[in-house]
Structure 1
Amino acid sequence: MRLNFIILLMVLVQTAGALFFIGDIGMSVLGIERQPIDWRLREAMEIGAAIALLIGLVLSGVLLLQSQRRLGRAEARLQRASGAFMEVVDESFALWELTRAERDVAFLLLKGFSTQEIAGIRKTSEGTVKAQTNAIYRKAGVSGRGQLLSLFIDDLLAETHIPSPPIEPEPRA
């Protein structure tokens, strides 16, 4: 909310200063007669308009610095999240004892590539990729790509302490 107020203030202040100077020059160019005013008042108006533009410049600089800081923090968080995800992936692949080829295929599966695309990337047959995919699912204890991906999402959510939905107790027989 505060940021929006600063932006609005900056725009209004700069607009006021710019309109003063543009209006003054425009009226001179178009030959529009103006009522003469005291030179001291005129100087005060010009100084006020110039100060308004300077304030707008300063506010713009402040907003730019804030934006750069926010971008830096967001990039750092993204880097940490990316690193955390890769740690979870590497730990899981090691736990499941995936071969190097299975690790490559599993990573491509997590990235959303199809069997045909994985075969093309790895320069192997689709049958080989399907066999490796089945081995990955078996070793991970899942039945498909969605469950494989959910294993990693669950691990990441657990690390960020997001509460899991409550598990309903099974009815007794």
Structure 2
Amino acid sequence: MKLGLWPAKTKERRATVLAGLILLQGVSALFFIGDVILDFREDGHLDNPHLLLESIAAVALVSGVIFLMIELRGLMSRMSDMQTGLDIAHGHMAAIVGEFFDEWNLTQAERDVALMILKGLDNDAIARVRNTASGTVRAQATSIYAKSNSDGRAQFISLFVEELIAGNERLAQGA
């Protein structure tokens, strides 16, 4: 299960529920408005308690529809803004990774191994994915740590986390 996708699906579900409520309230409002108009044609007076109550219900439903439409629009806008932010963060992370790898002069094989380290794979898993021996992956990882001046996996990963937390001045200076 991908945990990163769960909140997005929840937000989409919420937007769908809101749209359904808007539709239901809209249909109910049309019914009450139609009923009020028919009753008013027959009676011609708004002093009838039943007609007054239906009029109030119709106004409340129309108000609810308008409110929910505004709320749904805001929700959709926030979802769009969050997706844009995620896309930007993804792009920045790719740029940060590429910049570091270039700076450290990693070979293509080392880049592949380094990316898998960043994704959280251990050496044995990396070896299986790349169809190489575990010893080869260990040697490549050792080379990556030496080129990045890090003491191991945790410190290597922390280089990227620190860069993201710091707001990545490297990209800001390059832009």
- Provide TM-score, normalisation by structure 1: 0.68
Equivalent-residue separation in structure 2 for 1:101 and 1:160 (angstroms) = 26
- Please give the secondary structure, in 2, of the residue aligned with 1:138: helix
Equivalent-residue separation in structure 1 for 2:124 and 2:47 (angstroms) = 80
Equivalent-residue separation in structure 2 for 1:115 and 1:50 (angstroms) = 66
Uncovered stretches (5+) of structure 1, i.e. residues with no partner: 1-9, 22-37, 162-173
Larger radius of gyration: 1
Uncovered stretches (5+) of structure 2, i.e. residues with no partner: 1-20, 33-45, 170-175
Aligned to 1:98: 106
Which of residues 75, 78, 84 in structure 1 aligns to 2:86? 78
Q: CA deviation at 1:157?
A: 2.1
Letter in 1 for 2:141: T
**Is 2:140 the counterpart of 1:132?**
yes
**Is 2:72 the counterpart of 1:69?**
no
Aligned to 1:153: 161
- Provide TM-score, normalisation by structure 2: 0.68
Q: CA deviation at 1:158?
A: 2.2
- Please give the secondary structure, in 1, of the residue aligned with 2:142: helix
Equivalent-residue separation in structure 2 for 1:160 and 1:58 (angstroms) = 43
Aligned to 2:115: 107
Which of residues 51, 58, 66 in structure 1 aligns to 2:59? 51
Aligned to 1:40: 48
Deviations, residues 33-63 of structure 1 (Å, cap 9, x unaligned): xxxxx96221110011122122112211111
Aligned length: 130
Hey, which of these two has a bigger chunk of helix by percent?
2
- Please give the secondary structure, in 1, of the residue aligned with 2:69: helix
Equivalent-residue separation in structure 2 for 1:76 and 1:48 (angstroms) = 42
Deviations, residues 115-167 of structure 1 (Å, cap 9, x unaligned): 11111111111111111100100110111111111111222222268xxxxxx
Equivalent-residue separation in structure 2 for 1:45 and 1:142 (angstroms) = 74
Equivalent-residue separation in structure 1 for 2:168 and 2:57 (angstroms) = 51
Listed as ranges, the matches of 1:8-47 within 5 Å are: 40-47=48-55
Sequence identity percentage: 38
Letter in 1 for 2:127: A
Q: Which contiguous aligned blocks of 4+ residues in structure 1 show a shift greater than 6 angstroms?
A: none
RMSD across aligned positions (CA):
2.5
Aligned to 1:6: none
- Please give the secondary structure, in 2, of the residue aligned with 1:112: coil
